[in-house]
Structure 1
Amino acid sequence: MLKPKVCMLLCYLPFLDSRIFECEAKSLLNNGYDVTIIAPRKAGLLFDINGAPFNKKFRERVFYYQGIKVVTYDSERRSLNPVSDPLYQLGIKEDADFYHAHELNSFTYGKAIKQDLQQQRNKEVKLIYDSRQLIPDPFPLQINDHTKQQWHKTLLGNLQEADYVITVSNSIKSWYLAMDPMLSVEVIYNAPPLSKHIMNKNTPNDSFVVVHEGNMSRETFEKVIAITEGSNSGTDVEFKIIGGSRYGETFPVPAHLQNRVHIEQWVDYHTLPATMAGADLGLIDLDPTHSLNNMFAMPAKLFSYLNNGIPVVASKCSDIEKFIKTYQCGLVINKRNPAPADYLQVIHHLRQHPEKWAAMGSNARKVMEEVYNWNHMEKRLISIYQSLGSNQMPYLLS
């Protein structure tokens, strides 16, 4: 029996994106699906999760990596006409049973592929839109209203062909259902597999270690510097930044703080728990003032911190705030854009109440063990595919 075939469509994202490759693609592969990712090259090269080009590997146009087929194309060949675009052409060639799009643009190509396979080959395929962001976000001031209206029109047209929408927060799910109450929508959080070993601590370190994972804005980096400088001998603060700037950007640490602000380059997905071991607090600094995406966000860093039993401090964003207060796994500052002094106040509070810090860390780990690690999210993903593929049951691996 042939395995049902999944084709993931990417316009801008790297094929090694943790949600795409490490979580979804591998889970589908392990549950009996044949998985292909069609990914863009920039200047002839594939690129890593931080945007850095792969100069010495992944040079083949088509290759297999950890059991997953990767088909590549040059993004410079992109066309305004979907049918002459290389992503569309390669997607048609794959002749898959499921097309799984990860951006609004690739969703548009997925729609065209689905319609044309039906018309040209009389083949019924399923289209899934994996919406990790709201596009268009109605709030950003730098995007003009005409562009937002065009994107919204494109989204509505694409949704007519969507068989399922996957989102990353309950508020984003509600947003889609408000547009079309008949949509099939599921929330699959950006949660990692449960880490096997975590460092158990009874009290915060003498020097309080705050960790930040992933992309960091320059504004947040400047807050990190200010927080570190603002701490005194009673609340010495160190920062561990994992990732930070993207390729081509630099965030220089002042010389007098280089022993207290440590920047780890982007690390392998599976080494994240070990890299952030020993941290006392996880930082999520998102400003939702002009971003509905930030207001609704449930970023991967949140679940990475919880996975390690690290309490979280966050700005006032609706979904994160509700989560943290529900599970008592951190503190939310009652401001959309907290100042360094606000974060220092939280750190001082936790230093003064180690029992509260310990309880929040315990709650963080517990909620990951019981509800939110990837093993639980994988069940949601496979359930979606099985519900769509009742006429093509997956070949289950023994």
Structure 2
Amino acid sequence: MAKKICMVVAYHPFLDARIFKKEAKSLQKKGYRVTMIVPKKNGHLFDIDGTPFKKQFRSKVFTHEGIKIVTYNAENSRRPLNKVLNDEQMWERQGFHNPLTQLAIQEDADIYHTHEYLSLFAGVGIKRLMKKKKGKDVKLIYDSHELTPDPLHPRNSEEKRKLLKQQLLVMLQDVDYVIAVSESIKAWYQSHMPGLPVEVIYNSPPLNKNQQPKSFHSDRLSVGYEGNIDDRKGSQNKIIHISEICAAKTDFQFKIIGGKQHGSSVVIPNHLRRTITLTGWVDYHTIPQHMQDVDIGWIDLSDVERSLNQDYSLPNKFFSYLNSGVPVVTNKCQEMERFIRQHKCGYVIDKTEPTPQDYADVFLYLHQHRNTLQEMSQNGRKAMEKIYSWEKMEKRLFNIYHWLSVN
């Protein structure tokens, strides 16, 4: 009989690219029976941009693309899940009796795959209660999309970061495998728990099979940005200022694939309406089509000096650009810089906080050196083909599950 897998989700949208579209669908394709326990907010599931689904996905339990979806109200789980910060002796009595943990236990799965700090806490409860009440040993995966707590971020006080880390190390003793999203995050876990198995599965998309080699012969320069527009990444003000500088020098377009979260919108000044274009949020599988006319992909992470997560980041958009043969220009971040230097697939500005003028200068320079852009494009695409595409990451995922099944 095929092993049963349960994805345990505390706050990601259920159609999340990594969780649903890649990991869950890949495991289903491999023959595993996959269930996802996912949160509703205010009674609704929500899309990747935060938009609530009001006419779709209304049932508490349903099947979507062959994946069983079990929903719960996030509001009812928040308080007990936050008991993770209490003494461990209080966990079973006060923390584990939450809808996320209890619904996951009812699935009676063989492997539980968690995706956030709080869903890891739910997973610890699942593992302990399954053993105690059913005598069943289940496997627990922690898919660490980022480091929580971030050792540098000022959002939490030093005292709270210390407590969060202390509780994380306690929870990791119940974990059978950690999945990280970059080599730096993997190294962090290995330095704290050397005996814990850790594998890197990058946030890379399926290889775009229809990708044609890019030609950089046009007089127009097109810079693209994929993802959320907010204060930490994809600053709206920087996009406006970059566009003003570049448009004054050449035929220029700034293309935004994505935008603001639900309830907000990107405001484009009248004088840039023809310069800055918005696709809005698009279907995950159509992103390569929207990248066809993009020459350079932009990444700007604004909190690098105050966030180890950003310094260690290899975001989805990074691999989306390379998958479409789009060279990347970014600020100075340890993990992206290492990757770009290794594969010669982009340009790293030697500043953690470049100005719009800094970015514009690099864009215009590369526009004048199109042979360099061509080489970067080819190098990035080759790296995806040989090493980093989801098809390669999928094999790593299958190896983890096979190892857990036989050990």
Question: TM-score scaled to structure 2, two decimals?
Answer: 0.94
Q: Residues 8 and 189 from structure 1, CA distance in 2 versus in 1: closer, same or farther, beyond 3 angstroms?
A: same
Match of 2:274 in 1: 259
State the shift of 1:206 in Å.
2.0
Are the aligned partners of 1:199 and 1:278 in contact in 2 as well (CA < 8 Å)? no
Are the aligned partners of 1:11 and 1:39 in contact in 2 as well (CA < 8 Å)? yes
Match of 1:19 in 2: 18
- Structure 2 CA distance, aligned partners of 1:250 and 1:204? 33
State the shift of 1:197 in Å.
1.7
SS at match of 1:136: coil
Match of 1:29 in 2: 28
1:235 aligns with 2:234: no
1:25-174 correspondence runs (5 A): 25-78=24-77, 79-80=79-80, 81-174=94-187
Q: Residues 218 and 205 from structure 1, CA distance in 2 versus in 1: closer, same or farther, beyond 3 angstroms?
A: farther
- Aligned partner (choices 356, 360, 369) of residue 340 of structure 1: 356
- Structure 1 CA distance, aligned partners of 2:279 and 2:262? 14
Deviations 1:140-179 (A, max 9, x none): 2232122212211221111000000000000000000111
- Structure 2 CA distance, aligned partners of 1:374 and 1:290? 30
Q: Residues 39 and 199 from structure 1, CA distance in 2 versus in 1: closer, same or farther, beyond 3 angstroms?
A: same
State the shift of 1:32 in Å.
1.1
SS at match of 2:406: coil
1:241-390 correspondence runs (5 A): 241-287=256-302, 288-390=304-406
1:175 aligns with 2:204: no
- Structure 2 CA distance, aligned partners of 1:388 and 1:201? 42
- Aligned partner (choices 222, 226, 230) of residue 217 of structure 1: 230
Paired residue type of 2:306: H
- Aligned partner (choices 204, 207, 217) of residue 191 of structure 1: 204
- Structure 1 CA distance, aligned partners of 2:160 and 2:177? 25
Paired residue type of 1:270: H
Are the aligned partners of 2:201 and 2:393 in contact in 1 as well (CA < 8 Å)? yes
Are the aligned partners of 1:297 and 1:320 in contact in 2 as well (CA < 8 Å)? yes
- Structure 2 CA distance, aligned partners of 1:156 and 1:387? 23
SS at match of 2:306: coil
SS at match of 2:52: coil
Match of 2:88 in 1: none
Between 199-208 and 72-81, the greater mean CA deviation after superposition: 199-208
SS at match of 1:231: helix
SS at match of 1:321: helix
- Structure 2 CA distance, aligned partners of 1:204 and 1:326? 26
State the shift of 1:255 in Å.
0.9
State the shift of 1:73 in Å.
0.5
Question: TM-score scaled to structure 1, two decimals?
Answer: 0.96
What residue ranges of structure 1 are gaps of 5+ in the alignment?
392-398
Between 355-364 and 194-203, the greater mean CA deviation after superposition: 194-203
- Structure 2 CA distance, aligned partners of 1:202 and 1:175? 40
- Percent identical pairs in the alignment equals 47
Deviations 1:2-48 (A, max 9, x none): 21011011111111000001110011001110000000001110000
Paired residue type of 1:301: K
- Structure 2 CA distance, aligned partners of 1:143 and 1:205? 48
Are the aligned partners of 1:284 and 1:315 in contact in 2 as well (CA < 8 Å)? yes
State the shift of 1:232 in Å.
4.4
Paired residue type of 1:55: K
- Structure 2 CA distance, aligned partners of 1:82 and 1:181? 28
What residue ranges of structure 2 are gaps of 5+ in the alignment?
81-93
- Structure 1 CA distance, aligned partners of 2:405 and 2:40? 31
- Structure 2 CA distance, aligned partners of 1:67 and 1:204? 45
C-alpha RMSD over aligned residues: 1.2
- Equivalences, count: 390
Are the aligned partners of 1:235 and 1:351 in contact in 2 as well (CA < 8 Å)? no
State the shift of 1:83 in Å.
2.6
- Structure 1 CA distance, aligned partners of 2:335 and 2:113? 25
Between 50-59 and 205-214, the greater mean CA deviation after superposition: 205-214
Higher RCO (CA 8 Å, separation ≥ 6 residues): 1
Paired residue type of 1:164: Y
Are the aligned partners of 2:214 and 2:377 in contact in 1 as well (CA < 8 Å)? no
- Structure 2 CA distance, aligned partners of 1:39 and 1:263? 30
- Structure 1 CA distance, aligned partners of 2:250 and 2:225? 18
- Structure 1 CA distance, aligned partners of 2:324 and 2:200? 22
Are the aligned partners of 1:100 and 1:129 in contact in 2 as well (CA < 8 Å)? yes
State the shift of 1:345 in Å.
1.2
Are the aligned partners of 2:246 and 2:364 in contact in 1 as well (CA < 8 Å)? no
Paired residue type of 1:19: R
- Structure 2 CA distance, aligned partners of 1:259 and 1:204? 21
